[in-house]
Amino acid sequence: MHSTQRGLAETLRSLHQDGVLVLPNAWDAASAAVIARAGAQAIATTSGGVAWSAGRPDGHGLTREEMAVLVAKIVRVVDVPVTADIEGGYGPSAGDVAETVRAVVDAGAVGINLEDSTAPGGPLFDVGAQVERVRAARDAATGAGLPELWINVRTDVYLFGIGEPESRLDEVLSRAGAYAGAGADSLFVPGLIDLDVLRTLVEQSPLPVNVMVWPGAPSIADLEAVGVRRVSVGTAIAQGAYAVAERATAELLEKGTYGALEGGLDFGTINSAVTR
């Protein structure tokens, strides 16, 4: 384990200590480089965007090895900590999760995002099974020489509407306690943006809370005010970039004009951002 990687892991840990850590999600090396250039203190990958960049769908569309190669390319072009979205661990077993953690640590990542859903849309792993998977992640990181690896465990109770609405907060809190005991560092609850519910979750959760936002969600200031400690945007920036590609192409083909291309980063800026 290179000392620089352990230093980046400690940096990522320190960024969770005060205020709110904002993580604009990258999907390839160039997007990571320009996100870091814009001032991001750390880079989080988005599994959807990473898969799309390789011509695959989200939801384990990539193999573990392909995902790790793409993470390594991102790590190479930035000087800030990188946390990798490893989806459900690229396999259901604790052993699968451990192998994936070793792969992304070897790629240079210093954090992971691990889901508790068995597939897009659910169902979820039962708590006992997910606890074993989280423990395997922690043990694998320690065995790989990076005990400081930040483990952000995602629970999809709200995202996939698991159970009755009135029971969801209790289910998330129950999982938070179990995951904390297994070695998780933070709790990611995509799909939940209700500030009152988030305030209660933050007050009762043993883990700092990560929220995913999109246009129309509460502002980062409002989320910070109720105690949210980490905010990410999932595939949203990648979707915005691909929307520009589609609009620009339609304009070129239909009108023969180039207005959609205005405001792009200049060639030299992007080229220098990925030059190492």
With beta carbons less than 8 A apart as the criterion, state whether 83 and 62 touch.
no
pLDDT the model gives residue 276: 83
Is 255 within the bounds of a domain? no
Assign 190 a pLDDT band (cuts: 50, 70, 90).
very high
pLDDT, tens only, 10-60: 999 999 999 999 999 999 999 999 999 999 999 999 999 999 999 999 999
Is 23 within the bounds of a domain? yes
**For residues 193 and 190, what is the distance between their CA atoms, to the nearest angstrom?**
8
Is 173 within the bounds of a domain? yes
pLDDT the model gives residue 175: 98
Work out how many domains the chain is built from and give that number: 1
pLDDT the model gives residue 114: 98
pLDDT, tens only, 199-232: 999 999 999 999 999 999 999 999 999 999 999 9
* Residue numbers of the domain that contains 155: 3-235
With beta carbons less than 8 A apart as the criterion, state whether 102 and 1 touch.
no
Q: How many helices (H) and strands (E) does the chain have?
A: 11, 9
Is 43 within the bounds of a domain? yes
Assign 275 a pLDDT band (cuts: 50, 70, 90).
very high
pLDDT the model gives residue 78: 98
Is 271 within the bounds of a domain? no
Is 147 within the bounds of a domain? yes
| Whole-structure pTM value | 0.96
In sequence order, the β-bridge partners of residue 211 are 231
Which two tokens mark 209? Answer: 């809370």
With beta carbons less than 8 A apart as the criterion, state whether 124 and 157 touch.
yes
pLDDT the model gives residue 1: 64
Is 165 within the bounds of a domain? yes
pLDDT surpassing 80 at residue 149: yes
Report which of 73, 61, 59 is spatially closest to residue 27, judged by C-alpha positions: 73
Percent of the chain with pLDDT over 70: 100
pLDDT surpassing 80 at residue 198: yes
Percent of the chain with pLDDT over 90: 98
The CATH number of residue 210's host domain is 3.20.20.60
Is 117 within the bounds of a domain? yes
CA atoms within 13 A on the CB side of 89: 30
